[in-house]
């Protein structure tokens, strides 16, 4: 399957997803009250959590990639719910325009199956969360995640894995805040490295260090400042980002750098990974809508669950970190 908008062969898959969502009784005709906050109650009995990115709706006439219907978006959230994960991580671009209450209502509706099941969602800020007046955009963002206490970077721990969430929107937060965040990150990494109860560290942010997207999506700050710092500490195993509406995987300085932007935003074109100067993408399979399953056991394994042309989910990629 090419790295572009999905071909007509995927239309049967969309029909299957739509039928599933309708069978669930999910309907957008009845608006939900706002805001719809998520809690932070982690299921400690679960052995896996999920990672998604870039679920915002597209801009009509401006974005040409394939985009799910309303019913298909609900079916995607239902698939996440049916995994019974400990929690879900979202690496940003949740709302199309952060200051638009209507765009946030879309998010409330799209992910109602997760919220109604009581599954916690931990977010990282994407660039679209800053669109519009920052104060209004952030108010709408934090209204959905009140337990963050308006923190833009924070830490969680699950089954001995330290999860560090960053705000990679340096153009929005400014150089001074970005430097303070790096100082904070160094302290958190050092603490994790010295803590015998922590077996691994994973980072989550919106902007990738590498990508082969035709229109570059890389972040100089993430590539030149964050990743080298994180790689100084042996427990750092993985960095999950989004921003590019596709799936890519790189290993840089011993860190698995996963681009997971396949949660519903219009799919984007990637360049030829074999072309001169291309980033060394370790994944060469189909690139449709997807999510990542991170299983914490004797080993820490990442599985990429992708929507197939037959409407079924399949494991497109699997690797240990």
Asked if residue 30 has pLDDT above 90, the reply is no
91: nearest Cα among 131, 119, 51, 128: 51
Asked if residue 11 has pLDDT above 50, the reply is no
pLDDT of 310 reads 87
Is pTM, for the whole model, over 0.85?
A: yes
Q: What is the mean pLDDT of residues 31-45?
A: 76
25-34, 44-53, 241-250 — which is least confidently predicted?
A: 25-34
Q: How does pLDDT run across 281-290, given as a tens digit for each residue?
A: 999 999 999 9
Taking the alpha carbons of 243, 269, 263, 87 in that order, is the dihedral positive or negative? negative
Averaged pLDDT score across all residues of the chain = 89
71: nearest Cα among 13, 102, 28: 28
Q: What is the mean pLDDT of residues 5-22?
A: 42
Residue 306, H or E segment: strand 300-307
pLDDT of 33 reads 52
**What percent of the chain clears pLDDT 90, i.e. is strictly above it?**
79
- Where residue 75 falls among pLDDT bands split at 50, 70, 90? very high
Q: Residue ranges per domain, the chain? A: 32-271+279-320
Domain 32-271+279-320 adopts which CATH fold? Purple Acid Phosphatase; chain A, domain 2 (3.60.21)
pLDDT of 161 reads 98
Asked if residue 28 has pLDDT above 80, the reply is no
Residue 137, H or E segment: helix 134-144
Q: What is the mean pLDDT of residues 80-90?
A: 97
Instruction: Indicate left, alpha or beta for 243 from its phi (over 0: left) and psi (-120 to 50: alpha).
Output: left
pLDDT of 9 reads 39
C-alpha to C-alpha distance for 157 and 201, rounded to whole angstroms: 9
Q: How does pLDDT run across 136-165, given as a tens digit for each residue?
A: 999 999 999 999 999 999 999 999 999 999
Q: What is the mean pLDDT of residues 65-69?
A: 91
Q: How does pLDDT run across 194-218, given as a tens digit for each residue?
A: 999 999 999 999 999 999 997 778 9
Question: Which alpha helices (H) appear in 168-301, and where do they start and end?
Answer: 170-194, 220-221, 227-231
**What percent of the chain clears pLDDT 70, i.e. is strictly above it?**
89
In this structure, what is the dihedral angle of CA atoms 41, 47, 75, 107, given to the nearest 10 degrees?
30
pLDDT of 34 reads 66
- Where residue 15 falls among pLDDT bands split at 50, 70, 90? very low
- For tokens 């004797």, name the residue: 298
pLDDT of 149 reads 95
Q: What are the respective helix, strand and coil percentages of the chain, to the nearest 5?
A: 30, 20, 50
Q: What is the mean pLDDT of residues 189-197?
A: 98
Q: How does pLDDT run across 228-275, given as a tens digit for each residue?
A: 999 999 999 999 999 999 999 999 999 999 999 999 999 998 988 888
Q: What is the strand order of the sheet 200-204 is part of?
A: 154-158, 161-165, 200-204, 236-241, 255-260, 247-252
Higher per-residue pLDDT: 65 or 300: 300
- Where residue 7 falls among pLDDT bands split at 50, 70, 90? very low
């Amino acid at each position: 399957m090419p790295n572009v908008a999905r071909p007509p062969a995927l239309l049967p898959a969309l029909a299957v997803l739509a039928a599933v969502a309708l069978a669930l009784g999910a309907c957008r005709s009845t608006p939900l009250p706002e805001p719809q906050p998520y809690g932070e109650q982690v299921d400690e009995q679960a052995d896996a959590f999920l990672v998604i990115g870039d679920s915002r709706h597209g801009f009509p006439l401006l974005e040409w990639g394939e985009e799910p219907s309303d019913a298909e978006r609900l079916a995607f959230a239902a698939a996440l719910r049916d995994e019974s994960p400990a929690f879900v991580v979202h690496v940003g671009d949740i709302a199309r325009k952060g200051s638009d209450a209507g765009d946030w209502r879309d998010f409330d509706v799209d992910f109602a199956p997760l919220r109604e099941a009581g599954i916690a969602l931990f977010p990282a800020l994407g660039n679209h969360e800053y669109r519009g007046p920052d104060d209004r955009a952030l108010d709408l963002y934090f209204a959905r995640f009140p337990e963050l206490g308006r923190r833009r970077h924070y830490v969680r721990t699950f089954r001995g894995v330290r999860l560090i969430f960053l705000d990679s929107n340096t153009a929005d937060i400014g150089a001074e805040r970005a430097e303070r965040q790096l100082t904070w990150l160094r302290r958190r990494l050092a603490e994790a490295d010295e803590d015998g109860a922590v077996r691994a560290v994973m980072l989550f942010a919106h902007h990738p260090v590498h990508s082969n997207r035709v229109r570059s999506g890389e972040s100089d700050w993430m590539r030149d400042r964050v990743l080298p710092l994180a790689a100084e500490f042996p427990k750092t195993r993985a960095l999950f980002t989004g921003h590019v509406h596709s799936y890519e995987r790189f290993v840089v300085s011993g860190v698995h750098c996963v681009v997971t932007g396949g949660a519903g935003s219009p799919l984007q074109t990637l360049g030829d990974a074999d072309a001169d100067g291309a980033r060394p993408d370790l994944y060469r399979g189909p690139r449709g809508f997807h999510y990542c399953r991170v299983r914490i056991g004797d080993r820490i394994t990442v599985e990429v669950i992708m929507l197939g042309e037959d409407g079924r989910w399949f494991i497109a990629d699997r690797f240990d970190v």
